[in-house]
Structure 1
Amino acid sequence: MTDILDPIHEAQTATDTPLFASLPGDIRASFEFFPPKSEKMEAQLWDAVQQLAPLDPSFVSVTYGAGGSTRERTHNTVARIIREADLPAAAHLTCVDASKAEIREVAEQYWEAGVRHIVALRGDAGEPGAPFQPHPEGYATAADLVRGLKDIADFEISVAAYPETHPDASCPDSDIDNLARKLDAGATRAISQFFFSADTFFRFQDKLAARGITTPVLPGILPVTNVAQARKFAGACGAKIPEWMDGLFEGLDERPASRQLVAATIAAELCRRLYAGGVRDLHFYTLNRADLAYAICHMLGMRPKDAAK
């Protein structure tokens, strides 16, 4: 296995040589999908899964709609990925509009389908800006959900982390305290919300280290092709869209290929800066498209598993 390169050397390399030259491909990637709403979307999702599978991802995950609105589609998608793509697949599960008994039923169905990894989230209300209201017979927090899932089966559990602070948190310190509670409850790792500055993630890592948190946190990467859509996502999770990003996409509304190129460049540079800082695990929010995530992984030196033999 390739040793992690010296960070000082890497920092120098990132400033005075071609950014993506001679990288050893020692990164690990995971990919997130959302359940399809139509046959056409299902075909697009499956095409993305098949394109990314040769990269041998650490895992892939499938999201879960508010109040279980995509419960059946999520279950079917995860089960198919395990069955046909032979990939380690994680299913998202939230506290929204579900009793503990309902969550137990869903978790047991996942276990029976071969799912051994759950992304446990508190979840948000269906309407933007509406406060979260726990089900009277459900779990009130993600930490409670993690403990409940651990009582059901020996799941591997991922939870969410917020480098720029969750909108519901009173302050950054309280948000980190909440993350600590989720990890103490039995979570294996955290996956960060997306961000657009490597320094944002590194400062977050420093705060976690100062708090004594050593559990791995995977940086979440969102390749942006639609700034308006990204701004909507960001408003719900506390992420900041930098002003310079608007300028880079200006005038490209009718040029999808150019938007793709710009998006890949921005996200690849972010990943390269993270790599220079020692990050080797990346989690991509694919929006059910494989091309950008695949291109970025390729630029970072990752190659299909069979081709590497």
Structure 2
Amino acid sequence: MISPDHPLFAGLPGDVSVSFEFFPPKNEKMEAQLWDAIGQLAPLDPSFVSVTYGAGGTTRERTHATVARLVQETDLIPAAHLTCVGASKGEIAEIADQYWEAGVRRLVALRGDPPPESGGTFVPHPEGYASAAELVEGLARSHDFDISVAAYPEVHPEAASAEADLDNLKRKLDAGAARAITQFFFSTDAYFRFLDKALAAGITAPILPGIMPVTSFAAIRRMSGNTEIPGWMVALFEGLDERPGPRTLVAAVAAADLCRRLYAGGVRDFHFYTLNKAEQAYTICHLLGLRPKA
């Protein structure tokens, strides 16, 4: 048992692997912010960095441009997001070919969020893939990509049941994905229970915890879906949305403590949703003992 006098983050050796998610910028100011964040986080030697894909493929060109620049100008390993929404199998194959020719070897394959005009309901393209598992299978046939998929420790909001959601994850991995990355969560118990259920279902692929530092508690509430927000967290962030400086500091420590507890349970691989901001992700990695590579 750790003594109450033991400093919270003392002694962590930094024997962790990290990866970071970014989104493609919409304008010059956002582009500058993105590349500043990439420049700050790159020295932490991430295993890969992923670039998101907007609802309905709305950021297709910007995602490709960001990933291509990562290949051309950095030593980072980019993973481009691809979704089923709004594209035929032929169009997706063409995008996959373009990524392969650009030197991209990693993809994150997702069903994808339906565009706002759809009313929030996913409707497959008439000539497209009906699920992420089908998408993974198609991408795996096209090239020898290293593919990641999504997992939901507290169940996807549209899933019929927890069992059906787990079956869907297994189909995606069996179709050719190498690992899963979870939706953000705030309960270590939820994550470890999910790992136990996945193992019992025959899933042995790595399931990386997705860590979302709070940049706006109101936004976290909107995005949470089936994700439980603990009462202690509500109390911790009370009144801080109007005080961004203190909120940023509290959020970094809260997320680092979540990672510390995951680390105590044996986790050594973390995926951070950065929202194109480096400070919190860098702070969390530093508290975990990770230091920049020369």
TM over 0.5: yes
Which amino acid letter does the alignment assign opposite residue 168 of structure 1? E
Matches within 5 A, 1:216-255: 216-235=206-225, 238-255=226-243
What percentage of aligned pairs have identical amino acids? 69
Q: CA contact under 8 A between 2:56 and 2:113: conserved in structure 1?
A: no
Residue 284 to residue 240, structure 1, CA distance change in 2 (3 Å): same
Unaligned runs of 5+ in 2: none
Q: Does 1:89 align with 2:78?
A: yes
Q: Aligned with 1:47: secondary structure?
A: helix
Deviation of residue 23 (structure 1)?
A: 1.0
Q: Does 1:158 align with 2:148?
A: yes
Deviation of residue 194 (structure 1)?
A: 0.3
Structure 2 match to 1:178: 168
Which amino acid letter does the alignment assign opposite residue 266 of structure 2? G
Question: What CA RMSD, in Å, does the superposition of the two structures yield over aligned residues?
Answer: 1.3
Q: TM-score, normalised by structure 2?
A: 0.97
Deviation of residue 19 (structure 1)?
A: 2.4
CA distance in 2, matches of 1:85, 1:13: 41
Q: Does 1:100 align with 2:107?
A: no
Structure 2 match to 1:261: 249
Pick the aligned partner of 2:286 from 293, 298, 303.
298
Which amino acid letter does the alignment assign opposite residue 160 of structure 2? S
Which amino acid letter does the alignment assign opposite residue 50 of structure 2? S
Which amino acid letter does the alignment assign opposite residue 206 of structure 1? D
CA distance in 2, matches of 1:266, 1:182: 32
Name which of structure 1's ranges 238-247 and 20-29 shifts more when overlaid on structure 2: 238-247
Name which of structure 1's ranges 289-298 and 243-252 shifts more when overlaid on structure 2: 243-252
Structure 1 match to 2:263: 275
Matches within 5 A, 1:195-234: 195-234=185-224
CA distance in 1, matches of 2:26, 2:190: 34
CA distance in 2, matches of 1:71, 1:303: 34
Residue 198 to residue 228, structure 1, CA distance change in 2 (3 Å): same
Q: CA contact under 8 A between 1:121 and 1:159: conserved in structure 2?
A: yes
Q: Aligned with 2:73: secondary structure?
A: helix
CA distance in 1, matches of 2:128, 2:188: 37
Q: TM-score, normalised by structure 1?
A: 0.92
Q: CA contact under 8 A between 1:14 and 1:273: conserved in structure 2?
A: no
Q: CA contact under 8 A between 1:14 and 1:276: conserved in structure 2?
A: no
Residue 138 to residue 16, structure 1, CA distance change in 2 (3 Å): farther
Pick the aligned partner of 1:75 from 39, 56, 64.
64
Q: CA contact under 8 A between 2:18 and 2:46: conserved in structure 1?
A: yes
CA distance in 1, matches of 2:3, 2:219: 30
Residue 125 to residue 59, structure 1, CA distance change in 2 (3 Å): same
Number of aligned residues: 293
Task: Give CA deviations for 1:154-206 in whole Å, capped at 9, x if unaligned.
Answer: 00000000000001111111100000000000000000000001111111111
Residue 129 to residue 197, structure 1, CA distance change in 2 (3 Å): farther
Structure 2 match to 1:117: 106
Which amino acid letter does the alignment assign opposite residue 38 of structure 2? V
Q: CA contact under 8 A between 2:149 and 2:181: conserved in structure 1?
A: yes
CA distance in 2, matches of 1:153, 1:209: 28
Deviation of residue 82 (structure 1)?
A: 1.6
Structure 2 match to 1:5: none
Which amino acid letter does the alignment assign opposite residue 139 of structure 1? Y
Deviation of residue 77 (structure 1)?
A: 0.5
Unaligned runs of 5+ in 1: 1-11
Name which of structure 1's ranges 77-86 and 139-148 shifts more when overlaid on structure 2: 77-86
CA distance in 1, matches of 2:229, 2:91: 37
Deviation of residue 242 (structure 1)?
A: 2.2
Which amino acid letter does the alignment assign opposite residue 209 of structure 2? P
- The runs of 4+ residues in structure 1 deviating greater than 3 Å are 13-16
